[in-house]
Structure 1
Amino acid sequence: MCTAATYKTKDFYFGRTLDYEFSYGDQIVITPRNYAFNFRHVGDMKNHYAIIGMAHVAEDYPLYYDAMNEKGVAMAGLNFVGNAVYAAIKPDVENIAQFEFIPWILSQCSSLVEVRELLERINIVNTPFSEQLPLAQLHWIISDENESITVESMSDGLHIYDNPVGVLTNNPPFPQQMFQLNNYMHLSPKQPRNTFCENLALDAYSRGMGGLGLPGDLSSSSRFVRVAFTKVNAISGESEEESVSQFFHILGSVDQQRGCCEVADGKYEITLYTSCCNVTKGIYYYNTYENHQISAVDMHVENLDSDKMICYPVIQGERINYQNK
């Protein structure tokens, strides 16, 4: 299970948690402008916008979980198990395999306006990457600094939804996630006033009581509500340090700890990593379950005209700063 969110101060930020019981061996991967993407049904793309994100590399191909391009568009795929259905190949459309969807969009779109135009002629197809890596059941959030959309491929076709909160988790489908926010319209960061009965002397006996009823469990529907409430009420200064710190705190509201979500006997889902992309500047920040220090990779430090992938290993192992040594 996973959670994605957007955030805007002076710059635009986008990121996600990846929650699972094991890692496939992830890397921060830059695909420069001249790295050739070989798309299974639409041919090669030898020149494109540069992309940076978290990916599993297989057969010299980046299987991106989340990424952004040099033009300011960001995108993440999140589990959508039981609802995601991909189509068969069709004529007169652009047939894109599920695992190609992120590079297909980010390679050639500089805004959500262009993303929407591209989606009008796309067909997300059921072609697996390999026998060892079958189809992942996903839906996606795509954002620029002006807007976000959610894309869901289901049995009744491809759905594209405006996403006004800039948040996505897993199930149920996005319209139901948004509808449930109606149940929490009374929540507020302010202290509540007594509307229960004017003849009863009821008091707010603790700070934070305006948030009473905010769900605290780890289900995807509850995480949607919690991170949406946290994100829309989050306040930050506009410096890079303040903005990045606040973004990690926003996604920290849905962090998963080992032992709290058992998925099989002795196996537990945890937040393997949390990412924060400064989409404006092209900097990919992240931390991991085993290393809460924030690390960063700046795509613009690299040769973005190269034709070779640039990969950085994920830094593991907690970094503890002993002040008296």
Structure 2
Amino acid sequence: MNTKLSTFLLASIGIVSQVPAGACTGITLKSKDGAIVAARTIEWAESAMNNMYVVVPRNQELQTLTPSGMDGIKFRSKHGYVGLAVEQKEFMVEGINEKGLSAGLFYFPGYGKYQPYDASLKYKCLADFQVVSYVLAECGTLDEVKEALEKVRVIHIDPRSSTVHWRFTESSGKQMVLEIVDGQVHFYDNPLGVLTNSPGIEWHWTNLNNYINLQPGNAPVHKFGPLEMKNFGHGSGMLGLPGDFTPPSRFVRAAFFQLTAPEQPDARGCVFQAFHILNNFDIPTGTELAWGKAPADMPSATQFTVASDTRNRVIYYRTMYNSNIRCIDLKEIDFDGVKYHAKPLDVTKTQPVEKISIR
């Protein structure tokens, strides 16, 4: 292995070991005119990651990492795509391609287990943090995603790192979750459109049965023996909604907020609504770490929030440094002429403030 590649691999192993996708929360909204918006958060509380957007043209030659180097699957992108990556451009955690397919990875500790790395099969090995990029390059539909991923072996670059699971959404509105448990690949249709972290997706669906009492608005006034029980304030129908940041609690909250959200007329309305809903999952850094351990220069444990309009092929994002919503319109990109490149999500890591002049 040459020195340059060795240095790159060591850096990659360190990144994947130390930088999980954190407490991710994903929702999906459908507008009145049928547009689909897949949105989610990315959390990591211990340090500010090197977050970037990545533009990949059609016919770009790509290769995946294995524990022995950049010597996994070699392929050329069939579709152009744009995604958000952590630490380096190869590690795309969320993105959308020109066919309107959205893909994202979510932290899945303690429950997933990939097949062990076999060097004799490295030509078909795909690193877990590169699945999003591979799928967006190769696929336009969920059927194509299944077909593509059934031909590869998803592996760890470093077995010390946690596993992840994935969410794929096509512009038709169909959504699928992939989990690899005990080396076995499991695809689940996800009509609810919500995803968080461990345990597995089926457990989260079962857990929703514990919250069948939840309802929007207020609970009705009723008698409690000789006493008449009244609401203290608005929202009593939500009593019992879990408020902590564990994956099961976030799943329940995300499902409730998504299902009770008013239907928007179009995709743009869904995008703005998704960001408002996901405000509820913007995790303060101090809650993620022990007393006195939170870094003072980290505005939030939620490093960025992203929403993908699968119909119009637009990806929106905001960051912990800048709450303004920015977007990249894939329809405006010449994917035959653009160069493969990555740029920081934030050039200036300071929240812009608009000053109102009073005259």
CA distance in 2, matches of 1:283, 1:229: 26
1:13 corresponds to 2:37: yes
Quick one: which amino acid aligns to residue 132 of structure 2?
I
Structure 1 unaligned residues grouped into runs of 5+: none
Note if 1:173 corresponds to 2:200: yes
Contact 1:285 1:297 in 2 (8 A): yes
Residue 36 of structure 1 is matched in structure 2 by: 61
State the Cα distance separating 1:44 from its structure 2 match: 2.5
Assess, with a 3 A threshold, how the Cα gap between structure 1 residues 263 and 2 changes in structure 2: closer, same or farther: farther
TM-score with structure 1 setting the length: 0.88
Matched, 1:87 2:115: yes
Q: CA deviation at 1:94?
A: 4.7
Q: Which 10-residue stretch deviates more, 176-185 or 257-266? A: 257-266
Residue 306 of structure 1 is matched in structure 2 by 337
1:225, distance to aligned residue in structure 2 (A): 0.7
What is the root-mean-square deviation in Å for CA atoms of aligned residues? Answer: 2.7
Q: 1:268-287, aligned counterparts within 5 Å?
A: 270-287=301-318
- The amino acid across from 2:314 in the alignment is I
For 1:7 and 1:43, the matched residues in 2 are separated by 34
Alignment of 1:217-232 (within 5 A): 217-232=244-259
Q: Percent identity?
A: 27
| Higher deviation after alignment, 136-145 or 165-174 | 136-145
- Whether contact under 8 Å (1:4, 1:76) holds in the other structure is no
Contact 2:30/2:263 (8 A) holds in 1: no
1:141 aligns with 2:171: no
Counterpart position of 2:242: 215
Letter in 1 for 2:163: Q
Superposed CA offset, 1:26-52 (max 9, x none): 111111112211145764222411111
Extract unaligned runs of 5+ from structure 2.
1-22, 66-70
For residues 228 and 295 of structure 1, what CA distance do their matches in structure 2 show? 26
Q: 3-state SS of the aligned residue for 1:191?
A: coil
In the alignment, structure 1 residue 247 sits paired with structure 2 residue 274: yes
Q: Letter of the aligned partner of 2:262 in structure 1?
A: I
Deviations 1:188-214 (A, max 9, x none): 113223577687533334221111111
Q: Secondary structure, in 3 states, of the residue corresponding to 2:229?
A: coil
Partner SS, residue 5 of structure 1: strand
**Is the contact made by 2:115 and 2:183 (CA closer than 8 Å) also made in structure 1?**
no
Query: Partner residue of 1:114?
Result: 144
Give the secondary-structure state (helix, strand or coil) at the position aligned to 2:255: helix
Find runs of 4+ consecutive structure 1 residues off by over 6 angstroms.
none
Distance in 1, Cα, partners of 2:268 & 2:134: 32
Structure 2 partner of 1:321: 354
Greater share of strand: 1
Higher mean C-alpha displacement, 133-142 vs 44-53: 133-142
Which amino acid in the other structure matches residue 101 of structure 2? Answer: V
Aligned residue type for 2:293: G
Cα distance in 2 between the residues matched to 1:244 and 1:110:
22
Three-state SS of the structure 2 residue aligned to 1:6 is strand
Rounded Cα–Cα distance in structure 1 between residues aligned with 2:81 and 2:223:
53
Aligned-residue offset at 1:224: 0.8
Which residue, 192, 198, 222 being the options, matches 2:219?
192
CA contact (8 A) 1:126 1:135 kept: yes
Matches of 1:220 and 1:260 in 2, distance apart? Answer: 14
Instruction: Give the aligned partner of residue 12 of structure 2.
Output: none
2:188 corresponds to which residue? 161
TM-score w.r.t. length of structure 2: 0.80
Partner of 2:156: 126
How far did 1:279 drift? 1.8
Mapped partners of 1:323, 1:195: distance in 2? 49
Q: Is the 8 A contact 1:53 1:67 kept in 2?
A: yes
Contact 1:230/1:253 (<8 A) preserved: no
Q: Do the aligned partners of 2:176 and 2:187 also contact (CA within 8 Å) in 1?
A: yes
